[in-house]
Structure 1
């Protein structure tokens, strides 16, 4: 049994990943703050409350270790807020963004690797990154910084896992520009907070956004077809 653990599973890419992976017959555990009424394999949790993550993920792994042939952790949950020029953003929102976008996937990856150190089946971590982690955008200081941190964390893990007996393969992958609630949040911001606002409004008006369904299909195809070690720890779904 292939086991997938997906964070941010109640909407957007996360929701579609859970839905499509289940349709393929996989065991999928979704994690999100908002519950899904149509599934028993769902954990309601605020991932920014990072002190609870060790117990949460350890239980999921323990519950499935005897029957699993592979484990895949997909760190998808994230937030683009706070949007604004540094010097004019809310400090509490910055703390929440760092916790959700960076601290949570780091802790979950640490627990995943530790608890499965002797597991001989396939083990993979997919970190959903962003082009914003690889290029600077005015108004996205927190988002750019946390996604850049996620990329570099993935590089370190890949380097460390190259020399262990039963390695965890890891990729930090940018999914492209997707028509999700995050894009709605971006478009509802103000130009003084996000100088590139008009560009993102234009993406929507010209139909240049990928759907969450299409993006999930591409990510699943990537997971099924690609050798993570050959791809390397940093990738962009548009190249596959």
Structure 2
């Protein structure tokens, strides 16, 4: 069987990925803070900001699926855009929490994934859901931009290290485009003082420029299942495929 482990599986892209992959007949494991109401998804309710619990959680999942798996894919999808605000005005605790959710948790999960599956001979993939904000600076998104840039560079390091592995893990950090999810609602609910580009993002919604989570998930699945996935390299943008 083909196994997919998805964080942030109860909402947005994560929910659609879990739904569509399970409908294709794959074995899907979802991790999220809130319940994921999908019948054919093995769901674990967990808050990935509690980083001290991540290793035991993933170890439990991998132990359960490894023997029957032909391929195992970890999709680090969970993320948050908050706190939104110019640096110098941001709450320190919110900043620290976002660092854990957007960067520390994917690093911990990827580290254990590679360690536990070192001798697994099947196909192994890590897909990090990144953002164009990790590749371009935006006022008011200092924390978000920084965590996504860190996720990109972490992916580059893994790709380099895995070139020497006997059974390598293939990794891609992919920007999914501008999607009509709860994250966009959070952005539009911010103030112009906190986020100077607010009007631009309101226009995206009003002009119908946002892509649905369903469409984005379809594109991501096609991208992941592409026979040339191993040749893509560690940094990608879904709009180029």
TM-score band (shorter)? over 0.9
Which position in structure 2 is the counterpart of 1:11? 11
Contact 2:139 2:196 in 1 (8 A): yes
Which position in structure 2 is the counterpart of 1:25? 25
Residue ranges of structure 1 left out of the alignment (5+ in a row): none
Contact 2:75 2:128 in 1 (8 A): yes
- How much does 1:35 deviate? 1.1
1:78-113 Cα distance to aligned partner (Å, 9 max, x none):
000000000001111001100000000000000000
Contact 2:10 2:37 in 1 (8 A): no
Q: CA 1:239–1:214 in structure 2 vs 1: closer, same or farther (change >3 Å)?
A: same
- How much does 1:36 deviate? 2.1
Which position in structure 2 is the counterpart of 1:120? 121
C-alpha separation between the residues in 2 aligned to 1:43 and 1:55? 12
| 1:229 pairs with 2:230 | yes
Count of residue pairs brought into register by the alignment: 240
TM-score, normalised relative to structure 1:
0.99
TM-score, normalised relative to structure 2:
0.98
C-alpha separation between the residues in 2 aligned to 1:171 and 1:139? 27
C-alpha separation between the residues in 2 aligned to 1:161 and 1:225? 20
C-alpha separation between the residues in 2 aligned to 1:226 and 1:69? 15
Which position in structure 2 is the counterpart of 1:183? 184
Q: List aligned pairs for 1:37-186, cutoff 5 A.
A: 37-39=37-39, 41-186=42-187
Runs of 4 or more, structure 1, over 3 Å off, are 37-40
C-alpha separation between the residues in 2 aligned to 1:144 and 1:45? 25
C-alpha separation between the residues in 2 aligned to 1:224 and 1:84? 38
